[in-house]
Amino acid sequence: MATVTRVEDHGAFVDLDEYPGVDGYIHIKEVASGWVKNIRDHVKEGQKVIAKVIRVNPKRKYAHLSIRKVTDHQRREKLKEWKREQRAEKLLELAAEEMGVDLDEAYEVAGYKLMERYGSLYDALERAAAEESAEPLKEAGIPDEWAEKLAELAIENIEPSRVKIEAYLDLMCPAPNGVEVIREALKRMEAFEEGDVKMIVHYVGAPRYRIVVDAPDYRTAEKMVRKAAQAAIEYVEEHGGEGEFHREIEEG
């Protein structure tokens, strides 16, 4: 997301809204598909545009951008993401007012930690709203009073969308019919699907399987994936094998 600051005959200069202090330039050839006779027919000063980064100059904090290379789908998704983040920032600002600090300090105390943990401020607040709890925010290491206040605002103002989580399951069975045992263990996991909660198990590579759960909220997803994994592990252990559940896999 960028804001057009100056338009010239051969291109437009912009500020990157999500990266303070970073400037960008969109050449006239990258403004729109086809021949552009008058660049001002496509971009104007003060206009918000969604552009794709072509190349960057880290030393100068400068980026070359393209509007024409952004697909309609990418534009819609980015706009949705931008609106969500604006909404989340407003909730952070409300919390800051109640705490008696400005928005910059709110980011230092809570915002950046939540973004680092969950990828975006909105995703962090949506998680709290879905679980109706401040615990997900506390897990990011922010002060309890901030977590409680932000969770309160999130529960009041954010309607959680469906969530998707991943987990991993290691299953091993040295018995002569070990393959059949593991196949049956995985089949038993299907019994934990209910209503609009869906689960898919992917084979990663012996002995690991990846479990993907799609559910209305995190609490339901977490509960189901753990119950299903435990049922599979117990079945394998009953037949002389062993299993281990991993909520996340550490790299390296």
pLDDT tens per residue across span 49-107: 999 999 998 888 899 999 999 999 899 989 988 999 999 999 999 999 999 999 999 99
| Mean model confidence pLDDT for the chain | 91
Q: Where are the domains of the chain?
A: 2-69, 73-157, 163-246
Strand, helix or coil for residue 198: strand
What band does 238 get if pLDDT is binned at 50, 70 and 90?
very high
pLDDT over threshold 80, residue 12:
yes
Q: Which residues contact 228 (CB under 8 A, 6 or more apart)?
A: 189, 191, 192, 199, 211
Range 2-69 classified under CATH 2.40.50.140 = yes
Asked if 97 and 105 touch (Cβ cutoff 8 Å), the reply is no
Rounded alpha-carbon distances, angstroms, from residue 198 to 80, 99, 169, 215: 25, 41, 17, 7
- CA-closest candidate to residue 86, choices 157, 164, 144, 147: 157
Percentages of the chain per state (helix, strand, coil), in multiples of 5: 45, 25, 30
End-to-end CA distance of the chain: 34
CATH fold for domain 73-157: DNA polymerase; domain 1 (1.10.150)
pTM (predicted TM-score): 0.59
Which CATH class for the 163-246 domain?
Answer: alpha beta
* Predicted pLDDT at 247: 84
Helix residue spans in the chain (DSSP H): 72-99, 103-106, 112-118, 121-131, 135-138, 144-157, 178-189, 218-238
pLDDT over threshold 80, residue 251:
no
Q: Which residues contact 229 (CB under 8 A, 6 or more apart)?
A: 167, 169, 189, 211, 243, 245
pLDDT over threshold 90, residue 21:
no
% residues pLDDT > 90 (the chain): 74
% residues pLDDT > 70 (the chain): 98
